[in-house]
Copies of this chain bind each other. A is one copy, B any other.
Amino acid sequence: MLKDHIFEDDGLSKEERKEKISELQDYLSGNLQRLTTEKLPVLVLVEGYSAAGKGTLINKLISEIDPRYCTVFNYEALPIEERRYPYLHPFFCALPEEGKIQFMDLGWMEDAVRNRLSGDWDARRYRQNVLSARRFERQLKNNGYLVIKLFMAIDRETQKERLDNLRKKESTAWRVDAHDLRQNVKFDEVTKAYDDFMQETGESFPWHILDGSNSSKASYNAFRIITDAIRDTFASGKYNGAPYEEEFPLVEMPKLKDVDLSLSLTQEEYKKELKRLQDSIEQLQYKIKRKNIPVIIAYEGWDAAGKGGNIKRLAYPLDPRGMKVHPIGSPEPHEKARHFLYRFYTRLPETGCFAIFDRTWYGRVMVERLEGFCTENDWKRAYNEINEFEEDMVNWGALVLKFWIDIDSDTQLQRFQDRQNTPEKQWKITDEDWRNRDKWDQYEVAVDEMLEKTSTKFAPWHIIESVDKKYARIKVLRIVEEALTKALNK
């Protein structure tokens, strides 16, 4: 416990520590390249009290590390727009890539504690977000991240004295803000909140409490902890977590082979309903905007199932200023070198806006699984990781809609041939499409498993019968209309 934590004397003089630090620095700077070869991403989270010396510590830590290998994230400098995103968003977007070290000057602990104490989060939201933080750390660990969590502690009197000293000099007065002063006044309450958070998040990576009143000791310990952690990881190899089971409320889904693909609409029904639904959705968007509800719409489906045309009909009535369509292809290098959800976190809609994903994070359990782009552990774990992600979105207030655009193998063949034989459509068909088609049966197994394991009550899958594309489009629009209406009436 922070409250009555006792810092043991290490029996070292300042000079002795300096020497030891210098050795550790040599080890660290000599092993930066190995981080790259081992593809190890390192995140050093530095939390702690105001004026406890976090900035100075970070400066010391990175002073001997080649600056091309490390970056610093500064919680205090986050733009105000960050409030339009979910809790973990800034931290997810600041994840280091493989081979790099990211230092965080305050992070997901401080954010949770501040929002709790200010009352911006009620008790329920706080509990949800602490769970998110725990899952976040577990996901980082399982996905091979090394996270080192340091906490700089000082007592109330030391803090008061330091804040007073800073305020005395004109050159440093600007570094003290209202938040810092408030923290000193409410020191016990803050301490309890830090303690709570630490106790709730010690599972995947331990917290290390450093003595902020003795900067030489704190630096030496920080260097030791970081170096040990990196050395241990080199020795044991990058971690790749096994799948785990977490309970999510699931909706039972049919197998693809049992889906009735004969459903259809006449041209007349289609035209009438299309107009009505698009008008309705156009109106609903303004209300969604005013109620600040973020909307995430995920499209998956067979090649040539009609995703493009379906998305077009949905996007048509939406004001483009509040809507973005994200075509998802192979990840770019900087995305591949990070957590697989990184490229979706960076594409989340702001509150009040729509993000439509043409292919999604489910690539992990389909193409990445079948093509061997990730390990078996990775894709098996991903069902849970995805459910966790989507639950975070829903807890944030988002509406999450997921569509599987379905056709049968014969229909696909017919459409492929049609594309092949129509000059204007030939670009739509590639060798890869044919190769994927050869794996139809394997994909069907993967899709069935995906639908079974990730159709949660809070973010269920909708199977969209799309042999008749008109039917498919109207079905999607109806689901969207109904879901938006429901979200507005909540």
Contact = CB atoms under 8 A, between A and B. Distances in A.
A59 interface: yes
11 contacts: A37-B427, A67-B315, A67-B325, A68-B311, A68-B325, A72-B320, A72-B321, A77-B321, A81-B81, A171-B286, A174-B290
A258 interface: no
Given A33-B427, A68-B325, A81-B81, 11 more contacts: A33-B428, A55-B321, A66-B312, A67-B315, A67-B356, A72-B320, A74-B321, A79-B79, A79-B80, A332-B333, A332-B334
Contacts of A321: 55, 72, 74, 77, 105
Nearest to A356: B67
A23 interface: no
Contacts of A66: 308, 312
A63 B317 CA distance: 8
B320 A59 contact: yes
A314 to B, nearest CB: 9
A68 B320 contact: no
B319 A59 contact: yes
Contacts of A206: none
A116 to B, nearest CB: 25
B80 A327 contact: no
A434 interface: no
Chain A binding surface SS class: helix
Contacts of A320: 58-59, 62, 67, 71-72, 103
A30 B67 contact: no
A68 B358 contact: yes
A324 interface: yes
A316 interface: yes
Nearest to A309: B66
Contacts of A74: 321
A77 B323 CA distance: 13
A432 interface: no
Contacts of A324: 71
A4 interface: no
Nearest to A29: B312
Interface string A105-134: 100000000000000000000000000000
A431 interface: no
A245 interface: no
8 shortest interchain CB distances as A-B pairs: A72-B320, A67-B325, A67-B315, A68-B327, A33-B427, A74-B321, A79-B81, A332-B332
Contacts of A319: 55, 59
Contact of A312 (B33, B67, B81): B67
A424 interface: yes
A342 to B, nearest CB: 14
Nearest to A330: B333
A80 B77 contact: no
The residue among A67, A72, A358, A424 with the most chain B CB atoms within 10 A of its own CB is A67
A274 B429 CA distance: 62
Contacts of A308: 66, 68
A319 B321 CA distance: 38
A427 B174 CA distance: 44
Contacts of A105: 321
A316 B63 contact: yes
A166 B59 CA distance: 54
A33 B356 CA distance: 21
Contacts of A55: 319, 321
Contacts of A174: 290
